[in-house]
Structure 1
Amino acid sequence: MEAWLFTGAHRPLERIARDTPRPGPGEVLLRVRASGLCHSDVGRMDGTLTPFMPVPPPIVLGHEVAGEIAALGDGVSGFALGARVVASGSLAFCPGRHADGGYATHCLVPVECLIPLPDTVSFAQGAAATDAGQTSHTALYKAGALQPGMKVGIIGLGGLGMTGARLAVLGGAQVWAAEPRREAWAAARAQGVTEVFADVLDMVGLELDLIVDFAGFGETTAGAIRAVRVGGRVVQVGLGRTSATISTMELVGKSVTLVGSGGGQRENTAAVIAHMARGELTIEASSIGFDDIPAGLARLEAGGVVGRIVAEF
């Protein structure tokens, strides 16, 4: 098998060849067909998130994995060789974080992480569902307690934010968004977003029940607290910066609930894939090849990417 190995912060990924592993009890070996690129891996490579890694390098990154089952370990039932699946990570276990992940031709995962991928959903969409989908769904429905009829603000229209905006619309909410990159505005409106603004402070006065910050650049968190209604809720997802200065006067004076949300569970990923299978959700994604994974991460670092980047191989 081949893989792109992360050996430490401020170092380029190293292309390696190694023996294809055999699955142990309760594990399956995936032939990876699609692996999504996530900005959090940029944060690991530039050192921002490296101290928070549950398993230190060297490790194969890539936590958005879809593929076909190539081998079954002892005790595995419910899945057959050749089955199309996604590996849905959680805070307890996630490929690319707790063990070698999807920037590789093959990947070992526990069977309890697997979710069947319908034939009508592509590997690329399945891979995107495991992070952009799962994280957005969790932020809205678990941390955000979204209900039909709510007024929701979305900060940041990258891969997660655009998906979150669509999921909020599908949940019966009226949705506004803040995104400085105007090239994303038309796509957001096509997903059902009522209006897009350049800055979160432009949403002050809308009396939003819930704001989800998928950007996380400090001032966006502070702006969300200012823009949400009295007694409203702000969910923090984005980690564009690892700290923020907020007005505790506004937080307390308005009785705002501020909640952090990262990742999710299998049921969140499954809900996203169900939307995809019904034709209600497509995560905007551009495709690259296995050889282009380092260049794709460099594009993420440079900014300006609309939607997700997914390596298909």
Structure 2
Amino acid sequence: MKAWQYMGDHAPIQVNEVPDPEPSPTQVIIDMRAAGLCHSDIMYMETGDRAMPFLPMTQGHENAGVISALGSEVTGFQVGDVVGVCPSGVQLPTGMFTPGGFADKLAADYRDLARVPEGLDLSLAALATDAGMTSYHAMIKVGEATAGMKVGVIGFGGLGQIGARAAVLAGAEVHVAETKEDVWPLAQAAGAVDCVRDADEWATVGGNPMAGGSFDLIVDYAGFDTTQKALTAIKRGGKVVQVGLGRPTFTIATSSILGKTIEGSLGGTVEDIEELYALMLKGEIRPAYEEIAFDRIGEGLDRLKAGKVTGRLVARFGDR
């Protein structure tokens, strides 16, 4: 079969012929139909020689397809079931520590499978397994966004668009900070009450990080120079949920933490994915995405790295 693989030494991803996977007792084999492209794919190529347990590595961790084979201990699933794969479950994340879904077939543990409801587009099913799950989990499960809260969303990209809409559906008053003004109409269509270019515009008390602002919750899906701005903008008793990893380190004013909470959020659960599937099937969450062909995955990652993607890129496999 064909697979897009990182070979090492920071080289671009490339297509190779590799053997078809065989399932372990607790794994299924999935004929791939859709795979999302993520900034984490780029990050792992940039640090992959020390982060990946072996090379070459087949990448791709946002995966959806049709089960074509079952391991001997698999229960609750059968050949022909349409599933998405949770990348933060029992099996180490595909495309990072085990072979991923930028390939014709994928081996995945059955306990990491989310059932795709009939009628849901498989591009949505794929992107919901990471971009969707991660953003939804951070906003709803960690941030506990609810009605009456004033919520800030930093970054309205592949993750932020889903997190923002989830907060709107929860009844929160949602504000968005996003440098790309061309996506502001998308944020407003999702229910955001306003948009700003920079989260420092949310500081309401003269920019004094100790005084606190007016936000109950801010979820930072960017992680560049944004964390301090989020801490400054939340009120005493408020929370900042950190998701984005735009920079490996950042500095914050010690005084800005007092009386506030900052918590990191990573991944989510199969249940998060299936809750998102239900919302997507009803049309409540409709993230922006663009479909590309399997043979354009390398080009798609280049576009993503250059910041030339709105929403999410999803590779479709068709009848491969």
State the distance in 2 between where 1:172 and 1:304 align: 32
Shift of 1:117: 0.6
Q: Which residue of 1 aligns with 2:251?
A: 245
Give the drift of 1:296: 0.4
Deviation at 1:91, TM superposition (A): 5.6
Aligned-residue RMSD, C-alpha: 1.4
Deviations 1:157-210 (A, max 9, x none): 110011110011111111001001001100000000110101001122361100
8 A Cα contact 2:2 2:15, kept in partner: yes
- Which position in structure 2 is the counterpart of 1:95? 94
For 2:187, the equivalent position in structure 1 comes to: 188
1:288 maps to 292
- For 1:70, which of 68, 71, 85 is the aligned residue? 68
Partner amino acid for 2:64? A
Normalised to the residue count of structure 1, the TM-score between the two structures is: 0.95
Structural mapping, 1:102-113, within 5 Å: 102-113=101-112
Q: Kindly, what percent of the aligned residue pairs are identical? A: 43
Secondary structure (helix, strand or coil) at the match of 1:249 reads: helix
Deviations 1:114-172 (A, max 9, x none): 11111211110000100111001111122212222211000001100111100111111
Which blocks of at least 5 consecutive residues in structure 1 are unaligned?
none
Q: Distance in 1 between matches of 2:141 and 2:118?
A: 28
Rounded to whole Å, the distance in 1 between the matches of 2:141 and 2:33 is 30
* TM-score calculated relative to the size of structure 2: 0.93
Q: Offset of 1:50 from its aligned partner?
A: 5.8
Q: Structure 2 stretches of 5 or more lacking a match?
A: 205-212
In the alignment, structure 1 residue 216 sits paired with structure 2 residue 214:
no
Question: Hey, what does 1:34 align to over in structure 2?
Answer: 34
Q: Which amino acid aligns with 1:138?
A: H
Structure 2 CA distance for partners of 1:239 and 1:20, relative to 1, 3 Å: same
Equivalent position of 1:141 in the other structure = 140
Tell whether the 8 Å contact from 1:225 to 1:250 is kept in structure 2 after alignment.
yes
Paired residue type of 2:261: T
User: What is the alpha-carbon distance in structure 1 between the residues aligned to residue 64 and residue 102 of structure 2?
Assistant: 11
Q: CA deviation at 1:221?
A: 0.6
Taking a change above 3 Å as real, the CA distance of residues 234 and 33 of structure 1, as seen in their structure-2 partners, is: same
Moved more, 111-120 or 33-42: 111-120
Say if 2:4 is the partner of 1:4: yes
CA distance in 2, matches of 1:227, 1:256: 11
Q: Deviations over 1:241-274 (max 9, x none)?
A: 111111111112xx11011111111111111111
Higher mean Cα deviation, 176-185 or 223-232?
223-232
| Deviation, structure 1 residue 75 | 2.0
Q: What amino acid maps onto 1:302 in structure 2? A: A
Contact 1:22/1:29 (8 A) holds in 2: yes
Q: Is contact 2:44–2:96 with CA below 8 Å preserved after alignment?
A: no
1:83 Cα offset (Å) = 1.4
Contact 2:14 2:298 in 1 (8 A): no
Distance 2:84 2:304 in 1: 23
Q: 1:226 to 1:149 in 2, by over 3 A?
A: same
Separation in 2, partners of 1:46, 1:9: 9
Distance 1:236 1:100, change over 3 A: same
The question of whether the paired residues in 2 share the 8 Å contact of 1:64 and 1:127 is answered with yes
| Aligned counterpart, 1:230 | 236
Deviations 1:78-133 (A, max 9, x none): 22212111111216532212310111110000001111111211110000100111
Superimposed CA distance per residue, residues 54-93 of structure 1 (whole angstroms, 9 cap, x where no aligned partner): x343211110000001111112222221211111121653
Deviations 1:22-41 (A, max 9, x none): 21211100000000000011
Offset from partner CA, 1:202-246 (integer Å, 9 cap, x none): 1223611000000000x2011111111122100110011111111
Q: State how many pairs are aligned.
A: 308
The answer on whether the counterparts of 2:236 and 2:260 sit within 8 Å (CA) in structure 1 is yes
Whether the aligned pair in 1 keeps the contact of 2:89 and 2:112 (CA below 8 Å) is no
Residues in 2 aligned to 1:176 and 1:118: alpha-carbon distance in whole angstroms = 31
